[in-house]
């Protein structure tokens, strides 16, 4: 089959403004958008610039806007898109453009680091040196939010984040949730305090864009609601 990609191009060294370029090529319905981008880069236009690494949805490098929705290029097969029309490929929104589909991730990772995204428990370790105990039910409580790959698809789909990127965004809240609801962690109160602040969870307007965007199918809106509830009730159940 033939497919046409309409790609937003921008080279800061030569372009005053971003512009679209169109590429038409042969492809298979099972090709991923990433495969098509690689074909263009390899055989037609080596200047086309995008990030990629694992190519199967676990490293989080290739988040981009595909037909207006945030997706990983490596998890989006042509057969899931309307290929009778041009497929529009643009960089994720809300972060500064670097070149073509590459954006500056600094703000995204800075927001992530604000929520203490690491295990905190200064109590003595078990005397036998072995693992801290945790029941399967306690482990299950935060399972969903351990899946996050920090691809930024959710945060850069969020209208609140577009308007003000001091809002930590859904990804940071997901990563806070992963520790807040971990029975072994001891810093939930500190994280909840941060997230109760002006750049925290109450900026969320429940647009659900984040949940739609997540390539890991994390129930992000639910996780945010649980964090909100924990702040309001002061309970972690």
Instruction: Give the number of residues in contact with another protein, rule: CB under 8 A.
Output: 62
What is the smallest separation between the CB atom of 228 and another protein, expressed in angstroms? 23
Question: Which string of DSSP letters, residue by residue, matches 123-157?
Answer: SPPPTTS-PPP--HHHHHTTTGGGG-----TTGGG
In the complex with another protein, which residue's Cβ is closer, 167 or 179?
A: 179
Cα-trace Rg, the chain: 20
Of 83 and 146, CB closest to another protein? 146
Minimum separation from the CB atom of position 54 to another protein (A): 4
Question: Looking up tokens 């041009």, which residue turns up?
Answer: 86
Of 112-120, 162-170, 192-200, 221-229: span binding another protein (CB under 8 A): 112-120
Q: Which residue has the tokens 């072995």?
A: 130
Does 124 interact with another protein (rule: CB under 8 A)? no
Q: Residue 133, interface with another protein (CB under 8 A)? A: yes
Q: Mask: binding to another protein, 169-208, rule CB under 8 A, as x and -?
A: ---------xx--x-xx-----------------------
Q: Which stretch binds another protein (CB under 8 A): 7-15, 18-26, 161-169, 192-200?
A: 7-15
Chain centre distance of CA 17:
26
Q: Which of the residues 217 through 236 are near another protein (CB under 8 A)?
A: 217
Task: Tell me how far apart the alpha carbons of residues 119 and 132 are, in angstroms, rounded to a whole number.
Answer: 13
Beta-strand pair 2-9/87-90? parallel
Per rule CB under 8 A, is residue 98 in the interface with another protein?
yes
Question: How many residues are present in the chain?
Answer: 237
Q: What is the DSSP letter of 165?
A: T
């Amino acid at each position: 089959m033939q497919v046409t990609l309409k790609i937003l191009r921008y080279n800061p060294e030569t372009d005053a403004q971003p512009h679209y370029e169109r590429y038409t090529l042969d492809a298979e319905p099972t090709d991923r958008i990433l495969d098509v981008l690689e074909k263009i880069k390899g055989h037609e236009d080596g200047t086309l610039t995008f990030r990629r690494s694992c190519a199967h949805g676990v490293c989080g490098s290739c988040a981009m806007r595909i037909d207006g929705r945030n997706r990983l290029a490596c998890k989006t097969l042509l057969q899931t898109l309307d290929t009778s029309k041009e497929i529009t490929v643009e960089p994720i929104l809300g972060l500064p453009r670097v070149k073509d589909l590459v954006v500056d991730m600094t703000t995204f990772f800075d927001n992530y680091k604000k929520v203490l995204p690491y295990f905190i428990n200064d109590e003595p370790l078990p005397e036998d040196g072995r693992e801290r105990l945790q029941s399967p039910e306690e482990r299950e409580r935060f399972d969903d939010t351990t899946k996050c790959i920090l691809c930024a698809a959710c945060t850069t789909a969020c209208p609140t984040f577009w308007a003000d990127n001091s809002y930590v965004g859904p990804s940071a809240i997901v990563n806070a949730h992963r520790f807040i609801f971990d029975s072994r962690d001891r810093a939930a109160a500190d994280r909840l305090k941060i997230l109760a602040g002006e750049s925290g969870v109450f900026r969320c307007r429940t647009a659900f864009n984040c949940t739609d965007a997540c390539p890991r199918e994390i129930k992000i809106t639910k996780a945010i609601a649980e964090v909100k509830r924990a702040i309001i009730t002061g309970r972690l159940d």
